[in-house]
Amino acid sequence: MDRRKFLKSSALLSGLLSFSPSDLWSSQKGTKQSAGKAKNIIFMISDGMSTGTLSMADLYSRNILGKGSNWLNLYHERKVSRALMDTASASSIVTDSAAASSAFGGGIRVKNGVLNIGANGEKHLPVWQKFKKAGRKAGCVTSVTITHATPAGFCINSERRNAEPQIAEMYAELELDVLMGGGDEFFNPEKRKDKKDLYSVYQKKGYQVLKERTDLANIKKGNKLLGIFNTGALPYSIDRVHLSEFKNTPALAEMTKAAIDQMKEHPDGFVLQVEAGKVDWAAHANDISALIHDQLAFDETIKTVMDFAEKDGNTLVIITTDHGNANPGTIYGGSATNNFNSISEYKYTNEYVLNTIHKEFSAKDIKDWIYEAHKLTLNDEEAKHMMSFYNGLEKEEGLYNYKKLPFKLYSEIQKSRNSVGWISMDHSGDYVEVAAYGPGSELLKPFIKNTDLHELMLTASLV
């Protein structure tokens, strides 16, 4: 072999190997990276999104809707930096949402169940407070209660993630600029145990209170916003579309656009957290129609955010999840494609379907209702097994299963028809996806810890 050719080739190979994977990714044709300071930050979280959830939403979008998902299209078009993230908390390799959000918000790993408070009681200043002190506007938008763990982790310190009535009061003291989601029971004097009227408290501080979807069209410029659109969490996306009682509840993308529009003209910029919280709840229930459609609602919100960020040019967008949940996925088989596509026949969530059944239902009533709702034909044994839960013979536990509904049983029945399986009904410790766009996205390394995103935001914006 020619020695000069060999040395030339070796030098070329050595040069290539000197690049990190992130350097190679960033240099690919089509990648849009922006160095410099980020004026705005939009941090997007699909809570409890396992990789299988991301995959199935894209598969459903391509097979049924005829287009790829917006998240995966960012990868195809090489517009983003991409990483895998370790989601562990201080107390476990499997985190809860409070500790996960504290990793992003406080920059430290805390025990599950607490918000931005360390092992010795030390309070770590949440990131949205840091940005408020630096002159930015700050807000949170979610499909669950606005006082829930994920938005709270960016904003406050608390020993208990479940102290939602108190968290609602803390938000008022901080005077965050936009708060939108559910949770009327934490603001309404008729529903709070202490009878405090937090709506009045917020109004006295200059907030415009929004209660319905139509209110989004009548937002006054310059106002701080408190949008509380439901008691408890907002409805699942597929139920919001098909059930008339939810027609005046806004979609996540609509709330997000309103939040951006309200803050985007601030000369010092803004920071916004956007959470698809019901993706996590759907995974806890092994509810496939709820899961896919809420992930797709999050995906539509990605488009809303990216449309703004690409035009603006000064906005860092981070898209990720806080942890996996239930690790759903499609199962091999000759009919796997057709089985999976049959999910498009589902009109409602499993939650709505199972809540509709009551103990007076006969086996035939159950079979008729399941066919009407999901186009599934149950056999007599399956129908009788479901009846046993409503007759008090069997019970099923679960984090958001207050009524002891047979979520697991029904998901197993569906599995034999739709080829979707689940490993559990709870969080998992698997590594998760992160995508970043705009100024500061070049700082994202190929493998990170959840706390690294806290530092990335501060470094990207020079706060």
**In this predicted model, what pLDDT tens digit does every residue of 375-428 receive, in sequence order?**
999 999 999 999 999 988 777 777 777 788 999 999 999 999 999 999 999 999
State yes or no: 148 annotated in a binding site: yes
State yes or no: 150 annotated in a binding site: yes
CA 61, 139, 148 angle in degrees (round to 5)?
75
pTM of the entire predicted model: 0.91
12 has a pLDDT exceeding 70:
no
Active-site residue, from 97, 102, 411, 461? 97
Q: How far apart are CA 432 and CA 357, in angstroms?
A: 36
Q: How far apart are CA 303 and CA 81, in angstroms?
A: 17
Interacting residues of 442 by C-beta distance below 8 A, sequence separation 6+: 22, 26, 33, 34, 35, 81
462 has a pLDDT exceeding 80:
no
**In this predicted model, what pLDDT tens digit does every residue of 76-126 receive, in sequence order?**
999 999 999 999 999 999 999 999 999 999 999 999 999 999 989 999 999
28 has a pLDDT exceeding 70:
no
Q: How confident is the model at residue 463 (pLDDT cuts 50, 70, 90)?
A: low
Instruction: Please provide the average confidence, as pLDDT, over all residues in the chain.
Output: 92
As to burial, measured by CB atoms within 10 angstroms (0-12 exposed, 13-18 middle, 19+ buried), residue 283 is buried
The pLDDT of residue 122 is 94
User: Which helix (DSSP H) or strand (DSSP E) does residue 437 occupy?
Assistant: strand 432-439
State yes or no: 124 annotated in a binding site: no
Q: What is the CA radius of gyration of the chain?
A: 23
Report the candidate in 444, 438, 315, 430 with the shortest Cα–Cα distance to residue 55: 430
State yes or no: 275 annotated in a binding site: yes
State yes or no: 358 annotated in a binding site: no
Q: How confident is the model at residue 25 (pLDDT cuts 50, 70, 90)?
A: very low
**81 has catalytic annotation:** no
The pLDDT of residue 65 is 98
The pLDDT of residue 286 is 97
Report the candidate in 333, 412, 417 with the shortest Cα–Cα distance to residue 375: 417
State yes or no: 58 annotated in a binding site: no
- DSSP per-residue codes, 407-428: HHHHHHHHHHHH-EE-S-SSEE
In 154-218, which ranges are continuous DSSP H helix? 164-174, 198-204
21 has a pLDDT exceeding 80:
no
Q: What is the mean pLDDT of residues 338-342?
A: 98
222 has a pLDDT exceeding 50:
yes
Q: How confident is the model at residue 218 (pLDDT cuts 50, 70, 90)?
A: very high
Q: What is the mean pLDDT of residues 251-280?
A: 98
**In this predicted model, what pLDDT tens digit does every residue of 276-335 receive, in sequence order?**
999 999 999 999 999 999 999 999 999 999 999 999 999 999 999 999 999 999 999 999
What sign for the dihedral angle of Cα 202, 208, 211, 213?
Answer: negative
**In this predicted model, what pLDDT tens digit does every residue of 436-458 receive, in sequence order?**
999 999 999 999 999 999 999 99
Q: How confident is the model at residue 4 (pLDDT cuts 50, 70, 90)?
A: very low
State yes or no: 47 annotated in a binding site: yes
Q: How confident is the model at residue 177 (pLDDT cuts 50, 70, 90)?
A: very high
Q: What is the mean pLDDT of residues 136-147?
A: 98
